[in-house]
Amino acid sequence: MVLAIDIGNSNVVLALHDGLVWSQVWRLPTLTEPDSPMYYEKRLTDILLEAGIIPGPAPQVIISSVVPQLTAPFLHISEHLFGKPALKVAPPIYPKLKLKIDRPNEIGTDLLANAVAAHYLFQQDCIVVDFGTALTFTTVSADGHILGVAIAPGLKTAIASLFHKTAQLPEVPLTLPTTPIGKNTEHAIQSGILIGYVGLVRHMLAEIRREVGPQYIAIATGGLSAVLTPLQEDFHQIDPMLTLEGLRIIAETQEL
């Protein structure tokens, strides 16, 4: 049994893998206030008690974090709840992975997990597009070499930026409009960002393939991976659980 904890900029995702499937998934907001560790310890305790995980055999816990302020608190909470250290995704554990990582101290652990999942599950040249707080493109060759990453603001980040940086533009829902010509302010923002991001993703995939080869398949993941419906045919697979799958695979490689 594996408990994966993926600490991202917008959400903390906890997921339990029972050896066959992801049986339970929980999503909490990412908070970095001084009292956040107490909040998370209480919430995790309640969640795990309700799920019947504690008391009981301790799962293998693996933690990926791109929020440094929360890494140590979650490691402490995990050891306090289960009585044993969690596995932290970090460069010291990378040698057991079947990947070549040119700059192990720079790549985000979420992107590493995406690359691991893509390589182990598909065994071919891949571009992983992660629709999260940031929109990322991670290119992985069939022999397990992470060739590089491209990063752009995510959909929610782009909309929030307009809302916070302008005096009269509202924050709008992530609903794809039927026409690119906005008839009102909300429609105009949705058109510019959502339809615009369809073009951004397609152009990035085309440019990456122009450099590395047309055989690279595209895999989509992230909480917003299903929002841009016109892109569905551009992806070999859309898997919102890909990052968690990568964490599960990393946990298993460390047991070998």
**Segment 18-41, tens digit of pLDDT:** 888 999 999 999 999 999 999 999
Residues 114, 11, single domain; the answer is no
Residues 117, 70, single domain; the answer is no
pLDDT of residue 120: 94
Query: At residue 169, does pLDDT exceed 70?
Result: no
How many CA atoms does the CB half-sphere of 53 hold within 13 Å? Answer: 24
Assign 47 a pLDDT band (cuts: 50, 70, 90).
very high
Assign 159 a pLDDT band (cuts: 50, 70, 90).
confident
Single-letter amino acid code for the residue at 191: S
Q: Which residues pair with 130 in a beta bridge?
A: 136, 221
Q: Are strands 22-29 and 11-17 parallel, antiparallel or unpaired?
A: antiparallel
- Asked if the structure places residue 128 within a domain, the reply is yes
Q: Are strands 217-221 and 237-238 parallel, antiparallel or unpaired?
A: parallel
Which of 53, 88, 123 is a domain's end point?
88
pLDDT of residue 206: 98
Ramachandran area for residue 185 (φ above 0: left; ψ -120 to 50: alpha; else beta): alpha
Mean pLDDT of the chain: 91
Which of the 8 DSSP states describes residue 232? G
What tokens appear for 84 in the block? Answer: 């044993």
Q: Helices 68-82 and 36-50: crossing angle, nearest 10°?
A: 40
Q: Which domain holds residue 30?
A: 2-88
Per-residue pLDDT, averaged over 112-120, amounts to 96
Per-residue pLDDT, averaged over 173-181, amounts to 86
- Asked if the structure places residue 252 within a domain, the reply is no
Burial (CB count within 10 angstroms: exposed 0-12, middle 13-18, buried 19+), residue 57: exposed
Which of 59, 88, 117 is a domain's end point?
88
- Asked if the structure places residue 183 within a domain, the reply is yes
Residues 131, 147, single domain; the answer is yes
Query: At residue 17, does pLDDT exceed 90?
Result: yes
Per-residue pLDDT, averaged over 55-76, amounts to 91
Residues 101, 213, single domain; the answer is yes
CB count, 10 Å around CB of 173? 8
Residues 154, 81, single domain; the answer is no
- Asked if the structure places residue 60 within a domain, the reply is yes
- Asked if the structure places residue 255 within a domain, the reply is no
Burial (CB count within 10 angstroms: exposed 0-12, middle 13-18, buried 19+), residue 6: buried
Q: Which of 13-17, 116-120, 166-170, 194-198 is predicted least confidently? A: 166-170
Q: What is the pTM of this model?
A: 0.91
Report the domain count for the chain: 2
pLDDT of residue 256: 54
- Asked if the structure places residue 254 within a domain, the reply is no
- Asked if the structure places residue 256 within a domain, the reply is no
User: What's 20's domain CATH number?
Assistant: 3.30.420.40
Which of 88, 115, 131 is a domain's end point?
88
Residues 101, 220, single domain; the answer is yes
Per-residue pLDDT, averaged over 59-67, amounts to 94
CB count, 10 Å around CB of 198? 16
State percent of the chain over pLDDT 90: 66
Residues 226, 201, single domain; the answer is yes
Tell me the chain's radius of gyration from C-alpha atoms: 19
Residues 119, 33, single domain; the answer is no
Residues 84, 104, single domain; the answer is no
Residues 101, 223, single domain; the answer is yes
Per-residue pLDDT, averaged over 241-253, amounts to 94
Residues 53, 169, single domain; the answer is no
Residues 170, 221, single domain; the answer is yes
| Residue 193 CB partners (closer than 8 Å, separation 6+) | 155, 158, 159, 162
Which of the 8 DSSP states describes residue 231? G
Residues acting as catalytic residues: 110
